[in-house]
Amino acid sequence: MALAGGVGAWTRPPAPAESRPALALDGASLFEAKGCATCHTGPHTASVAGGFPSLADAGLWAGERRPPMSAADYLGESIREPWAFRSPEFGAAQGPVTAMPALGLTEAEIDAVVAYLLRS
């Protein structure tokens, strides 16, 4: 971590461009290992449960879901705070408040999953 903005303000330095493909590969493993693939179809997986939004082509729509949020910001928020916005892909009786489990992902793991979803 690097100190930025004065005393007590910490920020994580951005990942170098050359490490981003590695993040996507880690994200693919995390997507399966942390249980995302159980409910969500991903770029290289089919969900076990039905009725949950597909994330297979997230790069095509995620940037338009909550303007002015970027695709990465929207996907990250959806993992961190699934109750913050209800996807229009959910049916009337379900939604992330009742269906999305707390996955306990670190910020680095969230970044890796988001990079995987956007790269694929």
Report pLDDT digits (tens) over 15-61.
554 455 666 669 999 999 999 999 899 999 999 887 788 999 999 99
CATH number reported for the structural domain that contains residue 98 in this entry: 1.10.760
In this structure, is residue 2 part of a structural domain? no
Three-state DSSP at 62 gives helix
Give the pLDDT score at 52.
84
In this structure, is residue 5 part of a structural domain? no
Question: What pTM was computed for the model?
Answer: 0.74
Q: Which residues span the domain enclosing 48? A: 30-119
In this structure, is residue 21 part of a structural domain? no
What's the start-to-end Cα distance of the chain, in Å? Answer: 28
Residue predicted with more confidence, 87 or 117: 117
Give the pLDDT score at 95.
54
In this structure, is residue 111 part of a structural domain? yes
Domain count, the chain: 1
In this structure, is residue 109 part of a structural domain? yes
Residue predicted with more confidence, 97 or 35: 35
What angle do helix axes 107-119 and 20-33 make, rounded to 10 degrees? 100
Read off the pLDDT band of 101 (50, 70, 90): confident
In this structure, is residue 72 part of a structural domain? yes
